Amino acid sequence: AQSVAQPEDQVNVAEGNPLTVKCTYSVSGNPYLFWYVQYPNRGLQFLLKYITGDNLVKGSYGFEAEFNKSQTSFHLKKPSALVSDSALYFCAVSQTSSNSGYALNFGKGTSLLVTP
Amino acid sequence: GAVVSQHPSRVICKSGTSVKIECRSLDFQATTMFWYRQFPKQSLMLMATSNEGSKATYEQGVEKDKFLINHASLTLSTLTVTSAHPEDSSFYICSARSGTDYEQYFGPGTRLTVT
């Protein structure tokens, strides 16, 4: 079964510092990996995805993620955090069966708090 | 970009009544739609996957007679919570994808409160 793990419940970063939100995956076959962000009482907003190609994926709002096959990781990064980045971040992996419609399995989420 | 809407955004209903939530893809045809449930401070749990014109596929533990899903067109899916109880109170989120993309586009969610 395809799954992802987010080992941190919360990450605290000072504004202007780089941030990393960790995600590791467990899949059979090639992984399709995603990062989404959720603001309070809102749906999820897509940040970026890795399907194939370059290991460094650039996404929305200055975020990027590096696919590392040897470490089975897909950590989300940003060089300089903003207070407005404070939100709940979800890593997800796609089920690879077309019968499943490529449904997503989500990690538990990591709350990011950026302080001024 | 692809936009998915949900209606209503919030609903309060009495125990025993039924509630229908709509999910619409506004600017693309959604061959597949998904329904998720999210409890406070928790992750999204997939409830069911629906393909246009066919029956939904429910995840293990999700009662299909309680959570009725209809995907009658390429832009609309509905989730009906039948005979709602307080434990059904939750944040329900739909998402949609087209046949050409692995990416899912999420609706803004519906907060259901059953009193």
- Per-residue pLDDT of A67-84, as tens digits, reads 999 999 999 999 999 999
Confidence of residue A98 (pLDDT cuts 50, 70, 90): low
List CB contacts (< 8 A) between A41 and chain B: 91, 109, 111
Q: How far apart are CA A23 and CA A41, in angstroms?
A: 23
Closest partner CB to A43 (pick from B49, B102, B109): B109
Chain B interface residues (partner A, CB cutoff 8 A)? 4, 6, 32, 34, 42-44, 46, 49, 51, 57, 91, 93, 95, 97, 102-109, 111
Q: Determine the pLDDT at residue A108.
A: 93
Q: How far apart are CA A15 and CA A23, in angstroms?
A: 22
Percent of chain A with pLDDT over 90: 73
Dig out the tokens for A5 from the structure. Answer: 């793990």
Residues with pLDDT less than 70, chain B: 1
Going by C-alpha positions, the residue among A9, A34, A21 that lies closest to residue A78 is A21
- Residue A114: pLDDT above 80? yes
- Cβ burial of A4 (10 Å; 0-12, 13-18, 19+) is buried
- Residue A97: pLDDT above 70? no
- Residue A104: pLDDT above 80? yes
Q: Determine the pLDDT at residue B58.
A: 93
Q: Determine the pLDDT at residue B112.
A: 96
Q: pLDDT digits over B50-63, tens only?
A: 988 888 999 999 99
- Residue A100: pLDDT above 80? no
Q: pLDDT digits over A6-57, tens only?
A: 999 999 999 999 999 999 999 888 889 999 999 887 788 999 999 888 999 9
Angle at the Cα of B76 (from A97 to B86), degrees rounded to 5? 85
DSSP H/E element including B18: none
Confidence of residue A102 (pLDDT cuts 50, 70, 90): confident
Give the C-alpha distances (Å, rounded to integers) separating A34 from A66, A104, A107, B100.
11, 9, 10, 16
Nearest CA in chain A to B97: A101
Q: How far apart are CA B34 and CA A18, in angstroms?
A: 34
Q: Determine the pLDDT at residue B90.
A: 95
Dig out the tokens for B65 from the structure. Answer: 């007679």
**Cα distance from A107 to chain B (closest Cα, Å)?**
7
